[in-house]
Amino acid sequence: MNLHRFAAAALATAALASRAFAGDEAFDEALRIEKKIRETCDKVVPAFVFIGGGSGVLISSDGWFLTNHHVAANPRNMVVDALDQSCNLAGGRFFKCEIVGLDPVGDICLGKIKDAKDLPYVEFGDSDAVRVGEPVIAVGNPFMLGSTDFNPTVTFGTVSANHVNANAGYTDVIQTDAAVNPGNSGGPLFSIDGKLLGINGRINTRFSNRVNTGIGYAIPANQIKRFMRDLKKGGYVRHALLEGLQGAQNWDDLHAESEGALVRSVTAKSTADKAGFRKDDVIVEVEGHKIHNYWRFLGILGAYPGGSEITVKVKRGAEVVDIVVKLDKQAKVAAAKKKADLGASFEDAEDGSGVRILSVRSKSDAKAKGLKKGDIVLKIGGKEVQDAESLKKAVLSYPAHKIAPVVIKRGDAELDLEIKLDPAE
């Protein structure tokens, strides 16, 4: 049985088991839902992207795709090795690609397949319209099970909650019980009619086991759409905040009001002050979204790009006031510069004549430029290298992707190579 038909078959089996109790009408409805799931899987699975050890999904015929930041970028220093990216579509087609836009706060990367045209893709849905109990479909590469035959896994479940502050680095997400596991990260969460509702990112775990517990979180489609223009410009996007407003955060304060977020203080001459917020205002709505406490308010703010203009409704005594405010931007993400690597392992030459190459990585520029096992490195950047330690220091003095002139000895000949240095691991 194809993996992407498993969820539908399971649903039909459950319907068969209950047929005697519920009657033919319920059975017919289960078969209708099964047919809809199978049709949707056939439509959306071709747009799935295998990238790294995770997942992604195409959102345009010319190759734009989404995945998680923690899948396509280095999570330690948030640097992308854009020159060496590649991906596969469902079925195995191989493509070169690059990561264009980065959102480490929202855990989203926007990528582009090079020279792409007429690719299968999916359309965005309205993640704000999602209701608890609504059926959803997750497509992914859990535990890299699909990485050999490029057949992604499909799971089926329901929306457990929407607009959740997940306390897992996400501020406003869709919660689902559709099974997602390591490897599903960056993959799509669909409505039953095949609209993209979000990008699966994180799961709740228990007992330090990184396996599904029935709680998965997807970054909502509407949030991603708000950032799309900035993501396509390239580089890092910046989320919103509202400077100068302090709300109720402790347990007693959170339950002091039956609805809304209580404003405890407003800093003079701040953005909040200039917009018209006052102490003891109760924030009840932001852009049509109901606010029940201060954490919900912060969650909504985090789903907007910095510089966005939003309308906030506040209760001020018996009056309800609309406040229009242009949001501040979070601080810029500092992109670390990666150090360089030669693309080869080496050791001191036995006769003290330089540094001997032990092996050369197959996909490195050093390999492409002809560096071989047994070569003796004499100079790099015009400076002589005496031993392996001095060569290592010389290489690390370069940034990644920089071209370094290297002089090697091969037999009785000296050769000049120009090697583009790899990013250090």
Catalytic residues, by residue number, are 70, 107, 185
Q: Copy the structure tokens of residue 233.
A: 């410009």
Element (H, E) at 53: none
Separation of alpha carbons 249 and 187, rounded Å: 34
CB burial string 315-336: b at 16+ within 10 A, e below = beeeeeeebebebbebeeeeee
Detail the DSSP E strand segments found in 259-369. Answer: 261-266, 282-286, 289-290, 309-316, 319-326, 328-329, 340-341, 344-348, 355-360
CA angle 341, 344, 346 (to 5 degrees): 110
SS3 13: helix
Q: Copy the structure tokens of residue 244.
A: 């100068």
Separation of alpha carbons 259 and 283, rounded Å: 9
Say which DSSP state 7 is in. H
Name the burial class of residue 76, with classes exposed (0-12), middle (13-18) and buried (19+) by CB atoms within 10 angstroms of its CB: exposed
Closest alpha carbon to 344 in 381, 377, 379, 378: 377
Q: Copy the structure tokens of residue 8.
A: 């539908």
Give the number of other CB atoms < 10 A from CB of residue 202: 21
Give the number of other CB atoms < 10 A from CB of residue 81: 16
Detail the DSSP E strand segments found in 167-292. Answer: 173-176, 188-191, 196-203, 216-220, 235-236, 240-241, 245-247, 261-266, 282-286, 289-290
Indicate the angle between helix axes 24-44 and 6-22, nearest 10 degrees: 170
In the chain, the amino acid numbered 413 is A
